Amino acid sequence: MTAAMRWPVPLLLCALALSGCGQPASNGKTVIKIGSASPLTGPQAHLGKDNENGAQLAVDEINAAGLTIGGKPCQLQLLAEDDQADPKTATTVAQQLADDGVAGVVGHLNSGATIPAAKVYSDAGIPQISPSSTATAYTRLGFRTAFRVMSNDAQQGGVLGQYAVQTLGARRIAIIDDRTAYGQGLADEFARAAGAAGAQIVAREYTTDHATDFLAILTSIKAQDPQLVFFGGMDPQAGPLARQMRQIGLNAQLLGGDGMQTEQFIRLAGNAATGAIASTPGLPLATMPGGRQFESRFTARFGPVQNYAPYAYDAVYVLVDAMKRAGSADPARYLAQLPSTDYQGVTGRIRFDAHGDLSSGNITLYKVEGGHWVPLQTLHSHS
Amino acid sequence: MDILVQQLINGLVLGSVYALIALGYTMVYGILELINFAHGEITMIGAMIAVATIGALSGGALPIPVILFTGLVAAMAGCMALGYVIERIAYRPLRHAPRLAPLITAIGVSIVLQNIAMLIWGRQYIAFPPVLPQGWHTLLGARITDLQVAILVTALVLMLVLDLLVHRTRLGRAMRATAQSIPLAGLMGINGNRIISITFLIGSALAAISGFMVSAYYGLAHYYMGFLLGLKAFSAAVLGGIGNIRGAMLGGLLLGIIESLGAGYIGTLTHGVIGSNYQDVFAFFVLITVLILRPSGLLGAPATDRA
């Protein structure tokens, strides 16, 4: 190679980088960076890692199959960041991902982290798909970049509220939430729907997302003699909560959302998990269109699916689908294609409404029987 | 009525655990004037070792009491070794350094321990194996479980034994002398380093027992559990008067009861304006009030009665 030939190569690289296609990898393919943001440390690290693994699986499969966008061979690279489930850290991590030049972000896990980070991604013009945040507020902030592949709390809480009253026949209901955007949002929507269906909310108690002692609030609740206790929060709290209900002899039906519908909840609650009911947006993994195959591929690499991995997996495919249709991985170009997404994913058919929410979501109810979550029925929600 | 009794029982059990951990803070502070921030993490390591040991044994043919006892002994041995090593490598070289240096080191040690635990046992909450008795009794219309009785009795016996040890034995007298002045106690033939090591051993053993009890009580253990537990126990020690052993016991029991009653009644008392999510705020509000009125804590006395 002559000296004259050496110059154009770096120039070409610069031009490619400026066009938003990222840098070529050593094998000549253009690298497209996808960000994954979730808690990788702290009490919810198992759920955060699960999301990262889901996204990683999608990235690896897409790379293995070969990706061509706008006629150019491309390669995905996942940048996983730890937001510690903390709103402040989430914005720092979001800024970092934006500075690293990611083309899109799958995240965050928690609504409390997703919402403040959404502003950062919106300012940077980077599309964000949350695989698991359900707080209604997330898609109501007016950001064009905010999407999710999960039913929201208004959809889930509303379905749960009606179910508690109409199907379970509860007239006296106590509500506990963990004061996070997720827990509070879900509990508020539940309270509204249950109240509208004719139930009486006899107690409204609160805890935190680090607590393990609920005896005090459960004792107050027991004095109100409720038929059903609704918990808005995650499994590290729901497990001990179920145990302590049993311990003080509070014999009410325990009902919760997707944060509680995990294997970890059953492990932590032990015998006390039996009979608990919780919902998860979407379909059971086994009845998802591609659930069985996803589970075997995922389990072979990372161990059991915790909860949201299939959604993180689909989120990567949705981003890539929009890139393919736009013929570009430049966020400014392919963002316009995201609202018209109609993608058949592992978790179901993904289409977005005007807010960036799923235009129709399934919500499935499960009950713990014999140490496992057994699907009861799937209800339908509309945004 | 039975609700009030139930809240008192809940608070008393919680408080007795706080008290045991608070003793570790207060004993070390009494002698070294060091706030050993790693103490909460030692409690966590105790819980982790206990849960891991019991989990490993519970599939076998051993009777349950033997399994539980082995778990407890393993936790105590592990924590005592850990406490001894930490004092030797992290605190002793800084004995004559400015007071801020060992304090920062203590925070560093606690972060190191958290991360070691995360690497060994992972990030998930670990469930306590279901080997515990599930029975319960009725007391004045409230429910007290066998486990609660066991925790309360064990904690109270341990506190009594420790109080006797410090106030009635030669070793206790040596500890109290060292608390007053390490060099002067040295002139009386007391090996200060040995007493300090023994103090760390006793504190760590109590932390291991507390960790075992907490994980059994809530049915789980987690690498991060030491942080809040340590903070609460430290507050209990301050509430009772840090450096004072009976103060730590009183502070622990009071903090547990205040927290329980606070969380149970704060919503009703304020007509829902302040909810039970403020239970920690309520406990710390009481702590601040006490410290304003009695800056040295409830039983905080001048330096003579520290150990």
Residue-wise pLDDT for B211-223, tens only, equals 999 999 999 999 9
Radius of gyration of chain A, Cα coordinates, nearest whole angstrom: 22
pLDDT at A155: 86
**Strands A172-177 and A200-206, sheet pairing:** parallel
Q: How many CB atoms lie within 10 A of CB A307?
A: 25
pLDDT at B264: 83
In the predicted structure, residue B102 carries a pLDDT above the cut 80? yes
In the predicted structure, residue B91 carries a pLDDT above the cut 90? yes
- Residues from A in contact with B at Cβ < 8 Å: 40-43, 45-46, 49, 179, 204-208, 210, 212-213, 215-217, 219-220, 222-223, 235-236, 239-240, 243-244, 247-249, 264, 267-271
Q: What is the mean pLDDT of each run of 10 residues along chain A (383 residues)?
A: 45 44 66 95 89 96 94 94 94 96 94 95 96 90 93 88 94 94 90 94 90 90 94 94 92 94 91 93 80 93 91 96 95 94 91 90 90 89 59
Contact A82, A41 (CB under 8 A): yes
| DSSP per-residue codes, A86-120 | -HHHHHHHHHHHHHTT-SEEEE-SSHHHHHHHHHH
Which residue from A minimizes the CA distance to B5?
A219
pLDDT at A2: 43
Question: Considering only CB atoms, which chain B residues are within 8 Å of A206?
Answer: 275-277
Whether residue A43 and residue B219 make contact (CB cut-off 8 A), yes or no, is no
> Which has the higher per-residue pLDDT, A379 or B270?
A379
Query: Same fold for the domain at A3-150+287-352 and the one at A154-281+363-382?
Result: yes
Q: How many domains does chain B have?
A: 1
User: Helix count (H) and strand count (E) of chain A?
Assistant: 13, 15
- Structural domain of B84: 2-305
Least CB–CB distance from A217: residue in B125, B219, B263? B263
User: What is the ipTM, given to two decimal places?
Assistant: 0.86
How many angstroms separate the CA atoms of A318 and A343, rounded?
A: 7
Fold of the domain built from segment(s) A3-150+287-352:
Rossmann fold (3.40.50)
Question: Considering only CB atoms, which chain A residues are within 8 Å of B6?
Answer: 219, 222, 248
pLDDT at A182: 86
Which residue from B minimizes the CA distance to A235?
B125
- Across the range B70-78, mean pLDDT stands at 96
Question: Considering only CB atoms, which chain A residues are within 8 Å of B272?
Answer: 204
Q: At B202, is the pLDDT very low, low, confident or very high (cuts 50, 70, 90)?
A: very high
CATH code (residue B148): 1.10.3470
Q: At B139, is the pLDDT very low, low, confident or very high (cuts 50, 70, 90)?
A: confident
Q: At B72, is the pLDDT very low, low, confident or very high (cuts 50, 70, 90)?
A: very high
pLDDT at A18: 43
Whether residue A215 and residue B118 make contact (CB cut-off 8 A), yes or no, is no
How many angstroms separate the CA atoms of B195 and B177, rounded?
A: 10
Q: What is the pLDDT of residues B148-162, one digit of tens each?
A: 999 999 999 999 999
Whether residue B125 and residue A239 make contact (CB cut-off 8 A), yes or no, is yes
In the predicted structure, residue B115 carries a pLDDT above the cut 60? yes
Least CB–CB distance from A215: residue in B10, B219, B267? B10
Q: At B305, is the pLDDT very low, low, confident or very high (cuts 50, 70, 90)?
A: very low
Sorted by where each begins, the domain ranges of chain A are 3-150+287-352, 154-281+363-382
| Tokens linked to B263 | 């969380």
- Homologous superfamily of A154-281+363-382 in CATH? Response regulator (3.40.50.2300)
